[in-house]
Amino acid sequence: MTNTISVHGLRKRYGDVQAVDGVSFEVAEGEFFGILGPNGAGKTTTLEIVEGLREADEGEVELLGLKPWPRNSRLLPRIGVQLQATSFFERLTAREQLRTFGSLYGVSARKADEMLETVGLTEKADERVEKLSGGQAQRLSIACALVHDPELVFLDEPTAALDPQARRNLWDVLRAINTEGRTIVLTTHYMDEAEVLCDRVAIMDRGQILRLGPPAALVRGLDAPTRVSVASGVLAAEDARRLPGVDEVTDDGVSLIVETRDPSSVVAALSAKDALDGVQIRGATLEDVFLELTGREYRA
């Protein structure tokens, strides 16, 4: 089976900055693939080279068996790219916008209107794009990327600057698109988003891929402790330290927090002491993996 995307040894330099430094990955047909990384990690440049917006200094890219650079008009109808939510024609309504983009791909007005329904914007069809909320504009820009029914879809931080409701609503839309059999590549810096949506993620920093794999496998590979917390006062900290499998115990006056790599034994022991008041168990997340790999210090 051929991969939908195959990238080998990609490099791109801007002046003194090595923006992309030897990136290789493959994406299979129907996969939901995420590229994570802090700002300036090189994920946008990588995506732009893959989409065919920039030429790589070095390396090979193939999409659906075709090279995206130079501009390849046989490839373009088969891929859909969502850019920022502002990439619209001025002063057109949502419907006109989508029909115009559709016409660039030879898509009928009727099909364009159907896409409006897919992203749940039928009620806003006659609203000008400038009047749409952030979430609505984002959904419209995704609709513009999907209007020609592409096999491969690129989404660049689709949920940036959206409120929690709008994000979850958009996730549903994205999942539905993926279920239809389309391959999706997404960049984000929301770890929860990548964890929920992506089959596999690549964590990038300083132009390189640091880890690549399914989110759950990356989290397990981290070997980070699980934190079990109960209400403060149900158990003394000294008693907690003596429980089996406990690494560390802290009590901040609100919660007693037990770090462990054997959460099942700890919970069983707490249960035996009838000390499960307000229990919460929190495992490591992709965010922990991310911070472990890219460091915790703030980078502007």
Q: Which residues here bind another protein, judged by CB under 8 A? A: 51-53, 71, 73, 76-77, 79, 81, 83-84, 86-92, 96-97, 99-101, 103-106, 128, 144
CA–CA separation, 108 vs 115, rounded Å? 11
Q: Residue 128 Cβ, how far from another protein at the closest point, in Å?
A: 8
70 alpha carbon, distance to own chain's centre: 28
* 113-118 contact pairs (CB < 8 A, 24+): 115/143, 115/146, 115/147, 116/143, 118/143, 118/146, 118/173, 118/176
Six token digits for residue 99: 């029909």
Nearer to another protein, 105 or 171 (CB): 105
Nearer to another protein, 53 or 217 (CB): 53
**Is residue 36 within 8 Å of 96, Cβ to Cβ?**
no
CB nearer to another protein: pick between 34 and 150: 150
* Whether the bond into 70 is cis, omega within 30 of 0: yes
Smallest gap from Cβ 295 to another protein, in A, equals 26
Instruction: Please give the Cα distance from 59 to 225 (Å, whole number).
Output: 39
- In the complex with another protein, the residue whose CB is nearer, 51 or 62, is 51
User: At closest approach, how far in Å is the CB of 187 from another protein?
Assistant: 15
Least distance (Å) from another protein to the CB of residue 103?
Answer: 4
Which distant-in-sequence residues (6+ apart) come within 8 Å of 29 by Cβ? 1, 3, 4, 181, 183
Smallest distance from the beta carbon of 121 to another protein, in angstroms? 18
14, 33, 44, 93, 293 from 20: Cα distances, Å = 9, 18, 10, 38, 17
Of residues 23 and 144, the one with the C-beta less far from another protein: 144
As beta bridge partners, residue 255 has 231
Residue 139 vs 211, nearer CB to another protein: 139
Q: Which is nearer to another protein, 207 or 263 (CB)?
A: 207
Place of tokens 């911070």: 291
CB of 113 to another protein, least distance (A): 14
CB atoms within 10 A of CB 223: 9
How far is residue 124's CA from residue 93's CA, in Å, rounded to a whole number? 8
Shortest Cβ 234–another protein spacing (Å)? 55
Closest C-alpha to 23, from 55, 53, 49, 1: 49
